[in-house]
Amino acid sequence: MMKVKCTQLPSGLTVVTERMPHLESVALGVWIKSGSRNETVDEHGIAHLLEHMAFKGTRRRSARQIAEEIENVGGELNAATSTETTSYYARVLKDHVPLAVDILADILTDSTFDAEELRREKHVILQEIGAADDTPDDVVFDRFAETAYRDQTVGRPILGTPDTVMSFSPDQIRHYLGRNYTTDRIFIVAAGAVEHDAFVREVETRFSALPRLPHSSPVLDTARYTGGDSRESRDLMDAQVLLGFEGKAYHARDFYCSQILANILGGGMSSRLFQEVREHRGLCYSVYAFHWGFSDTGIFGVHAATGGENLPELMPVIVDELRKSSMSIEQQEIERARAQIRAQLLMGQESPAARAGQIARQMMLYGRPIPNEELMERLSGITKERLTDLAGRLFFDTVPTLSAIGPLEHLAPMSDILSSLSPRAAETHAVAI
C-alpha cells in the first residue's frame, strides 16, 4: 500500500516521499512556490531564464558534466516554469538517488551563471520565443491571458520578450533566486522505490546551503480579472478562438465544481461541446473546455479551432451550449465527469513522475498531501443545482475574454457576443472598456 511520508527539516525545507512497491526507479524533484508571477516589472522572463541557466554549470560541474553524469546512469533531468511554480526534476534507478539529489542540489545552490553561457542561453530563448510566435495555438493562449489580466504579471507570457531577456545580467538572476528560492518556499518530493529516512538524510546534507529567508519579500500582486477582446488577423488555414470567463481559485468553494463543469462541457468525446459542435454540426476539428486555478483567481475557457468560414455559426452554438448548462445538467453527466476525474487521478498515480508532481502541487497549495478519498468526497458533494448555479454566475455575470487569431473577417464583434450572453455583461463591458 502506498503511503506518503512528510518531514520538515530544521532549515524549513519540506521533504515528502511516497514508496511505490514493485518499482525499480524513483522520480524526484525540487518544486519552488515561485514562478513568472513573482517577477518584478523589470524581470519579465527571468524565472524561465533562471530555469535554463541552472543547467549551465556550477563550481563543481560544467554544463556538459551535468548532462553526462545523469545520463551515464541512464537517468533523465529536466525543469519547467509556470505562472506560480518552478520545478527541477530527475528520474533514476533507485541506486542512483544520491547522485540525482547531489546534482539537483548543486545546480540550485552553486550555479555560477557564467556570462558566456548566459549570452548563449539568451539566444536559445529568443529562438523559443520566435517558435512560439509562429505557433497560432500558443499565441492565442498568450493573448488570452494578457487580455484576461491586463497589465499584470499573472497575465504575462512566461518566456518574456526579446528585449527583457537580452537585458538580464548574472546579478539580476542571483537576486531573483535569492528572493524566491528559499527553504520556506521549496518542497523536495520523491515517488517510487525510495526509502524516506535515507532520502531525508541526503536532502538535509546536500541542500544545507539554501537560504532560509529571502533577501526581500517575494513579489505577488493580487490578481484582478479584467476581460476584454484580443484579435489578430493572420493569413492562416484555420482560426484559433478562445472564449473565457473568470474562474475559481484553488481554495474557492466552487473550484472542484468548476472542474466538473468544464468536463461536462468539453472534457472528452462525450462532452456537450464535442458532440454538438464537432460531431453533430461539423463546425470545427477541435473543441474543448478547461478550468485553470491559481492561488487567488482562475480562468474558465472554451477553445475551438476551425476554418474562418465557420465562425458565424460556431460562436452562437458555443454560447448556446454555455446557456444550456446554466439551465439543466443531467445526473448521468455528473457521474461520467466524476468517473473521468477519478480515473485520471488513479492512472496518474501509477506513474512515479506524475505522482511526485501531484504530491508537490498539493503541498504547495494546501500544505499537506490530499488523500484520494478526500478528493472524491469533495467531488461527490457536487449537485445539479450547484452546477447550474455556477454556470449562470460564470458565464453571465462577468465580462468575457475573447482571444482569436487567424482569418477573422467572419468573427462577430464583441458587442454581439456580449449581447448573446447577457445584457448585464454588455453593460459591464461598456463601462470597463
Active site residues: 51
Which cell numbers hold the place of 412? 462577430
In the block, which residue shows the cell 457521474?
335
Q: Name the DSSP class of 276.
A: I
Which cell numbers hold the place of 158? 512566461
Task: Using DSSP, state whether 15 is helix, strand or coil.
Answer: strand
Q: Name the DSSP class of 247.
A: -
Long-range contacts of residues 339-347, Cβ cutoff 8 Å, at least 24 apart: 340/263, 340/267, 340/268, 341/259, 341/260, 341/263, 341/379, 342/376, 342/379, 345/372, 345/375, 346/372
Q: How many Å apart are CA 230 and CA 143, to the nearest integer?
A: 7
Q: How many Å apart are CA 378 and CA 398, to the nearest integer?
A: 26
CA angle 132, 136, 141 (to 5 degrees): 80
Q: How many Å apart are CA 205 and CA 327, to the nearest integer?
A: 58
Dihedrals phi, psi of 59, to nearest 5 degrees: -70, -20
In the block, which residue shows the cell 508532481?
357
> What distance separates the 2 farthest-apart alpha carbons in the chain?
64
Assess contact for 298 and 148: CB atoms under 8 A.
no
